[in-house]
Chain A
Amino acid sequence: MNFARFSERIDGLKYLADKMELTGSRVRRYLMQMPFSTDRDELEQNFDILQKACEILSDQKAKPVMMQLQHLFSRVHDIRGSLAELKEKRTLDEVELFEIKYFVVLCSDAGKLCDQAGFSYERLFPLQEAFHILDPDTTGTVSFSIYDSYSKSLAAARQQVTETDPGRDPGKWDQLQDIIQKEELAVREKLSLQLSEFYPDLQENFDRLARMEIWFAKAKLALLYNMSRPVTVPGDQPGVLSVEGMVNPAIADNLENAGGSFQPVSVTLYRKPCLLTGANMSGKTVVLKTLAMIQALTQFSFFVPAQKASISLVKDVFLVIGDKQDQYRGLSSFAAEMLDLDRIMANMAAGTEMLVLADEPARTTNPAEGAAILCALVEYLEKHHVMSLISTHYGDLGLSCRKLRVAGFEGTNVKGRLDPLQMYRYMNYSLIEDKGGSVPLEALNIARLLGVNGSFIDTAKKYLK
């Protein structure tokens, strides 16, 4: 599973990926193909790299060097075509040979800039020998030509052709041009063969340059959103997902544009199910989405938008939001959700370690059966020790599992109509442990604040027992 697949399922990832400053599709492709890592050592090493990149970016003295490096990234061309030719030992044309030479020069420059900045990761292979092949006269310039010094017979033919007037002696001129063509081809064949020995290093440098750019883009993102380095929990310790002061960057940006701010939320999950209750608009879905994003970010070697995070690694993250319907395949939102749950069951049966975050499962069917489905899900998650958080509006289910409740609405005395974007002013989003089994009954109150017809709400109240 790579980053592209995860960002389709977890929209917060896509938002952050779009925020990353990458120089083009060449690098974005590497980002999209990043694997979801479950290797703790690898992740910790990656976090060391990212931390170093953050330090360099925060260092004012390193700024000029970093600007040069950033500019250099933008000058790297997509030479996958030429590299493939080298790999297959095919003959490169003049333009491709130039591109290899230019790339080698960029690698050498990038290496020097990294040394100056103190960035010792993604080290590039020195390719002086490859450069010498393309710089036979040791002029040190980036430009490339099929130089006379490559072949004596080429030089001789070229000399002769300059002494021949194509107007007066077209036969000889054409003949000489043919010789030059042949000789140039021979030179290109020789150069290509010599360069093909450097293919592995060239390819590796090409990959490393892209990865280097991604590290700095990740670091920039981390600084932009005040992200912190997550602590990965060793596999032999009890599984936990503990996040203090988490923020959802996409929503925080939106709120900021509207003049508000995101209230950081803290939550800890263990390897068992936990129910999440709370009024409408109390941010339950945001909690689920942000947790999914933080778990995924960690395992894709990003820092996370929270003050502190301890994270056990999982094999997969399931975020079931229940708004997925696929009319083209004949699936209603209920059917799509049931199929998602079925996939989760299959993974449980296979013993896959995972994080399950489900938003009001079975809400689109009748409450009696819906509650039954929810209870069954909780029972299964319990039995298989799955780290999970399930939001719901169903109350008094008689379940003994752990429960969290959003502190909730604190604006009962607000008069008049309220803009949904201003709701955050009256909502306390923090999560508190809930011992009871009831759910808050604030739906009508909130509907009133949204400006829904008053007599309609009074009519609804009549039916409340």
Chain B
Amino acid sequence: MPFIDQIIRYGSLSVVGLGKNTGKTECLRYVMEKLDQRQKLIAVTSVGIDGEGVDRVTATPKPEIFLEKGMYFTTVASYYKAKRFRAEICEVLPYTTVLGKMVTARALEKGKMILAGPSDTILLQNWVREMPRNFSVDICLVDGAISRLSPASPAVTESMILAVGAAYSLNMSTLAERTRFVYDTVHLPLAGESLKKKLEHITRGIRGITADGEITDPGVESALIPEQVREVLGKCQNRIYVPGAVSNALLKTLGEGKEVGKTELYIRDFSRIFADPRVLYSFLRKGGRIFQLFSTRLLAVCVNPVSPQGYRLNSEELTARIQKEVNIPVYDIKKLEG
């Protein structure tokens, strides 16, 4: 497959799904198998508590990930201790999460394991950076999520694959539109390098950006309700930076402003967008612009035409329908495996 070469070139990949059971695990397993065949040393983890992972309410477990001999993986100590195959611990991470200590280990034979790794963006970023340094790993894989419950952004990896499945919706148009939306947000333009340097360490509050690129603090903590957004706009003119959630209220209020055509919104990355597609598109249509500080390369879309209830969509039709919306390859994961 062509995207395997790209993954090798980029060195890190996250696989994210539109929702539960969209074929993310199958897709990850496929990538791992192919990389293993190419004799690449892999490290894999999963973003910690991520809505579709260990549900804090129902305690339903995440799907297990198949590991080949020699692969490195990072997970919480309690899952590690429950393993049913031989592995060796290589490192205990210097922080503790809500799930306890976190270990990095190497599989000494093949086996399967529930992964729950670094649970926020900074820790995940460190993991992606440190694994190749500490263990000469070729490729870091992240079982990611773009659900709004995920605190860790998949944008920390160089590349990404999106899993779209019948489990999300049995309506092909809905699937295609949603895929298109993710595709569009991933491809939002990047902020300039100098602006990025000034903004990347600011992770809270709201900031204004003057015409000369100076950063101002309007003293508003969030932009979740229209009054706050209007207050920010009044103080910061037309360029604002929102490191947190990009909500419907934010984009609607910005879109209602008189100078929407001159409005520039800076965000951290596409995963911070929680607004509805129609609200976002409406803002862009009116001439508003959105820039992101971090981006990742979306390599491919993998579709899973089978829903867990057993419904099956027509594979060719679904692939073709989605392919019309995006300018990257679309594959049926079941066919790839076969």
Contact = CB atoms under 8 A, between A and B. Distances in A.
B81 A98 contact: no
Contacts of B109: 162
Interface of A: 75, 77, 93-95, 98-99, 102, 142-145, 148, 158, 162, 177
Contact of A95 (B84, B86, B89, B106): B89
B88 to A, nearest CB: 4
A331 to B, nearest CB: 38
B81 A95 contact: yes
Nearest to A97: B89
Contact of A158 (B77, B86, B101): B86
A307 to B, nearest CB: 41
Contacts of B86: 145, 148, 158
Given A144-B89, A145-B86, 14 more contacts: A77-B94, A93-B77, A94-B81, A94-B89, A95-B89, A95-B92, A95-B103, A98-B89, A98-B103, A99-B92, A144-B88, A145-B89, A145-B108, A158-B86
B94 A95 contact: no
Contacts, number: 36
B203 to A, nearest CB: 22
Interface of B: 77, 80-81, 84, 86-90, 92, 94, 101, 103, 106, 108-109
Contacts of A98: 89, 92, 103
Contacts of A77: 92, 94
Nearest to B88: A145
Nearest to B84: A177
Nearest to B103: A95
A95 B80 contact: yes
Nearest first, the 9 closest Cβ-Cβ pairs linking A and B are: A145-B88, A98-B89, A143-B88, A143-B90, A95-B77, A144-B89, A177-B84, A93-B81, A99-B92
A145 B87 contact: yes
A347 to B, nearest CB: 44
A98 B80 CA distance: 13
B101 A95 contact: yes
Contact of A143 (B80, B81, B84, B106): B106
A148 B109 CA distance: 13
A161 to B, nearest CB: 8
A177 B85 CA distance: 9
A94 B80 contact: yes
A143 B80 CA distance: 14
A75 B101 CA distance: 15
A95 B75 CA distance: 12
Nearest to A177: B84
A383 B133 CA distance: 69
A77 B86 CA distance: 25
Nearest to A95: B77
Nearest to A74: B94
A142 B81 CA distance: 18
A148 B87 CA distance: 11
9 contacts: A95-B81, A95-B89, A95-B101, A99-B92, A142-B90, A143-B88, A143-B106, A145-B86, A148-B86
Nearest to A166: B84
The residue among A95, A99, A102, A145 with the most chain B CB atoms within 10 A of its own CB is A95
A60 to B, nearest CB: 28
Contacts of A93: 77, 81
A143 B89 contact: yes
A406 B89 CA distance: 65
A148 B108 CA distance: 11
B236 to A, nearest CB: 30
Nearest to B108: A145
Contacts of A143: 88-90, 106
A162 B84 CA distance: 11
